[in-house]
């Protein structure tokens, strides 16, 4: 039975808050004694977007009980994010460093999140029934279970609680190859978590890595949109067959060529396959958070019971617009995104 219609309560986004440090690639930050930073984390980026779009959003993370955390919490509250579920425990906030520039690749990322308050959460520490009170939608990503076996166990614990309460569940299959360092492959962990999801978002390559849904060999060499979309349909159908609770599968296709980006998406829902318009740009301000913005757009659309094509087009436009915004989260309102879609 689908839970997508159950959207009367608030939306809870679950994941680690991170501070993103952005040194320039040439080391000028050392001479200037300046290190730009942003508050982020995939699930917080989703929460930020939904709050901006005036949706009832709660955020769960763990932060140490200190003055810095209080400043962060005040900042989130100023963005109309309900922080009442935040768990105060542990000793530090997780960090990551991402070299500043328009052509950032994964090897420019350095994580410093081991031993963070969120990473130190353990099963039994949190009263999930209390956290989930009044919640009708729960969102998580594959980043949490990538941190450690304990983090994966905590994730499963809250998913079981949300499922018992018949809460709609969405998952973003974010794949971070520099995580998953505790001896388990994603495909050993993610299927038992994804089984709780009503909506699954990712891309065909992440679905292969995390769920074991094979990608056609040499597909990438074609470069043809029709072939990629066909692969998206195939992957979506396989996921729906493997996970009976799932009611919708969304895939993103973002191709970076030098400084340019080509971007489009697909959605399989109600036994129908939809795809978005194709967006291209030669200039990008910040690639961080575009996928999170797409996920937020999907949640926004399903939560407000939009039809599949409408919600897919909105989510895709929101994600594309994020490429031109510095920082982890979008600053575009719903009206601004719809206006951009008309251009």
As a whole number, the mean pLDDT across the chain is: 93
Question: What pLDDT is recorded for position 285?
Answer: 87
Strand runs labelled E in the chain = 10-14, 18-21, 37-40, 57-60, 62-63, 87-88, 94-98, 109-112, 135-141, 168-172, 199-202, 248-257, 260-269, 272-275, 279-281
Among 217, 265, 269, residue whose Cα is nearest residue 246: 269
On whether residue 104 sits in a domain, the answer given is yes
Number of domains comprising the chain: 1
pLDDT for residue 60 is more than 70: yes
The CATH number covering residue 175 comes to 3.40.1190.20
**Token representation of residue 329:** 């989260």
Is residue 4 very low, low, confident or very high in pLDDT (cuts 50, 70, 90)?
A: low
User: When comparing pLDDT for 77 and 104, which is higher?
Assistant: 77
On whether residue 240 sits in a domain, the answer given is yes
On whether residue 125 sits in a domain, the answer given is yes
Please state the rounded mean pLDDT for residues 205-209. Answer: 97
| DSSP three-state, residue 149 | helix
On whether residue 30 sits in a domain, the answer given is yes
On whether residue 52 sits in a domain, the answer given is yes
Provide the pairing of β-strand 62-63 with 260-269: unpaired
On whether residue 193 sits in a domain, the answer given is yes
Containing domain of residue 17, as a range?
Answer: 10-249
Distance CA(138)–CA(175), nearest Å, equals 20
Question: What pLDDT is recorded for position 283?
Answer: 87
Q: What is the pLDDT of residues 31-56, one digit of tens each?
A: 999 888 889 999 999 999 999 999 99
pTM exceeds cut of 0.85? yes
Distance CA(194)–CA(170), nearest Å, equals 9
Please state the rounded mean pLDDT for residues 255-280. Answer: 91
On whether residue 94 sits in a domain, the answer given is yes
Query: How many CB atoms neighbour CB 21 within 10 A?
Result: 18
Please enumerate in sequence order all residues whose Cβ is within 8 A of that of 246, keeping only pairs 6 or more positions apart, or say none. 194, 197, 198, 199, 200, 239, 240
Lowest mean pLDDT among 8-22, 173-187, 206-220, 261-275: 206-220
Q: Measure Cα distances from 231 to 200, 235, 238, 262, 311 in Å.
A: 16, 6, 11, 17, 21
Q: What percent of the chain has pLDDT over 70?
A: 94
């Amino acid at each position: 039975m689908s839970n997508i219609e159950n959207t009367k309560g608030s939306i809870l986004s679950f994941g680690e808050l991170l501070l993103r440090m952005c040194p320039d690639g040439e080391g000028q930050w050392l001479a200037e004694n300046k290190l730009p930073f942003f508050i982020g984390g995939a699930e917080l980026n989703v929460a930020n977007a939904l709050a901006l779009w005036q949706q009832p959003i709660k955020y769960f993370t763990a932060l140490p009980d200190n003055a810095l955390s209080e400043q962060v919490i005040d900042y989130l509250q100023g963005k109309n994010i309900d922080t009442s579920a935040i768990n105060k425990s542990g000793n530090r906030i997780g960090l990551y460093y991402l070299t500043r520039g328009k052509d950032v690749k994964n090897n420019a990322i350095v994580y410093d999140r081991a031993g963070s308050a969120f990473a130190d959460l353990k099963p039994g520490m949190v009263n999930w029934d209390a956290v989930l009170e009044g919640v009708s939608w729960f969102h998580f990503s594959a980043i949490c279970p990538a941190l450690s076996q304990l983090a994966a166990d905590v994730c499963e614990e809250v998913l079981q609680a949300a499922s018992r309460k018949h809460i709609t569940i969405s998952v973003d299959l974010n794949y971070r190859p520099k995580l998953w360092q505790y001896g388990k492959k994603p495909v050993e962990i993610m299927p038992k978590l994804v089984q709780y999801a009503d909506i699954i978002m990712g891309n065909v390559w992440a679905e292969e890595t995390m769920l074991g849904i094979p990608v056609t060999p040499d597909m990438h060499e074609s470069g043809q949109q029709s072939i990629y979309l066909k692969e998206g349909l195939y992957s979506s159908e396989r996921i729906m067959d493997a996970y009976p609770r799932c009611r919708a599968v969304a895939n993103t296709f973002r191709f970076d060529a030098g400084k340019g980006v080509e971007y489009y998406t697909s959605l399989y829902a109600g036994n129908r396959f939809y795809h978005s318009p194709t967006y291209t740009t030669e200039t990008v301000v910040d690639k961080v958070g575009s996928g999170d913005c797409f996920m937020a757009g999907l949640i926004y659309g399903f939560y407000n019971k939009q039809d599949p094509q409408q919600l897919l087009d909105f989510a895709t436009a929101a994600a594309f617009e994020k490429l031109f915004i510095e920082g982890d989260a979008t600053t575009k309102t719903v009206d601004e995104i719809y206006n951009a879609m008309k251009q």
